[in-house]
Amino acid sequence: MLSMTGFGSGEGTIGQITVMIELRSVNHRFLDVALKLPGSLALFEGDIRKFLKDNVARGRVTVSAQLQVARDPKDAGLDPDRLAQGLTMVRQAARDLEKVTGEKHPVTLDHLLRVPELFRAEEPDLSAEDLQGALLKGMTQAHQGLMGMKEAEGKALVDEMRQRLVTLADQLAAVEKLAPQAAVEIQARLDERLAKILTDQIDPQRLAQEVALLADKANINEECERLGIHIDHFHGALDKGGQVAKQLNFLLQEMHREVNTMGSKTNLMDITQAVIAMKDEVESMREQIQNLE
């Protein structure tokens, strides 16, 4: 099983072109892609989205790309126009300085080398095919790193949920042991109610309803049984792996319902404490499920 949180980086090189990719993924109900691309790679936005759609199920994925182009030193040289402009500026500066100081200031090579952008490099022709190839290489490598982190975090989440299931099952076993005592408590309340009825004038229909309600509340065996079945199914889904987050979330909703019902059927303090502990475990797992792909 995979977490939706992860990071991966990679780079792809073809000829003079190197594309560096970073992928960051966080929780989201669906696949949501955000792109940060230089202009020369914007043409391949569709390729990036298709790659992620084919390889990532859910999450908000941010793609950051940088492009580097290796330049051949032989392509560098003086910019004749910039050289002429620079020479004119330096000579004018020398004349202005001579007027102020009365001293001649000859123009030297060192002065010219201080002119910004004096040298230029020929821009290489970038093949769209090479750009695309380097981009996809970088995406593939970054995706491998992303998946490695998602797998590691997913395994940690599953291990923690399994431990919570053990705690939940232990609390359920404690409730099952206490269930007969809860039934005795409810029976005592029923006897008390019946004794009061003998001295009061109560509508027979209302009496039947109250007796039926108290009798129903005396039994939490069905809730315990269903909760145990849900725990087993949860273990089975974790063993199966894959994209089972929706199934796990449904099971947790059902667990929460059964635990709530147990709590509402009895006021026995020991059962109430176990119910609170079980609710905590279920809520913690519901939060963890949100991070599974």
Are 107 and 239 found together in one domain?
Answer: no
Report yes or no on 1 lying in a domain.
Answer: no
Q: Give the model's pLDDT for residue 38.
A: 93
Are 40 and 55 found together in one domain?
Answer: yes
Are 49 and 113 found together in one domain?
Answer: no
Residue ranges in the chain assigned as alpha helix (H): 45-55, 80-101, 109-113, 128-199, 204-217, 221-240, 245-265, 269-289
Phi, psi of 13 (to 5 degrees): -125, 130
Length reported for the chain: 293
CATH of the domain at 41: 3.30.230
Q: Give the model's pLDDT for residue 174.
A: 93
Q: Which domain holds residue 250?
A: 152-289
Are 27 and 14 found together in one domain?
Answer: yes
Are 29 and 146 found together in one domain?
Answer: yes
Tens of pLDDT, residues 237-263:
999 988 888 899 999 999 999 999 988
Q: Give the model's pLDDT for residue 198.
A: 61
- Only one residue has tokens 């923690």, namely 160
Q: In the chain, which residues have pLDDT < 70?
A: 72-79, 112-113, 117-124, 183, 186-187, 189-191, 193-218
Report yes or no on 94 lying in a domain.
Answer: yes
Are 43 and 67 found together in one domain?
Answer: yes
Q: Give the model's pLDDT for residue 92.
A: 83
Report yes or no on 62 lying in a domain.
Answer: yes
Q: Give the model's pLDDT for residue 25.
A: 96
Are 17 and 144 found together in one domain?
Answer: yes
The span from the CA of 143 to the CA of 18, in Å, is: 17
The count of domains in the chain is: 3
CATH of the domain at 285: 1.20.140
Are 94 and 32 found together in one domain?
Answer: no
Are 146 and 173 found together in one domain?
Answer: no
User: pTM of this prediction?
Assistant: 0.69
Report yes or no on 179 lying in a domain.
Answer: yes
The span from the CA of 153 to the CA of 35, in Å, is: 24
Report yes or no on 173 lying in a domain.
Answer: yes
Q: Give the model's pLDDT for residue 178.
A: 87
Q: Give the model's pLDDT for residue 18.
A: 94
Q: Give the model's pLDDT for residue 86.
A: 75
Which residue among 150, 166, 199 closes a domain? 150
DSSP symbol at 122: P
Q: Give the model's pLDDT for residue 69.
A: 86
Are 208 and 225 found together in one domain?
Answer: yes
Are 53 and 112 found together in one domain?
Answer: no
189 exposure class (CB count in 10 Å sphere: 0-12, 13-18, 19+): middle
Strand bridging mode 59-69 / 31-36: parallel
Are 10 and 145 found together in one domain?
Answer: yes
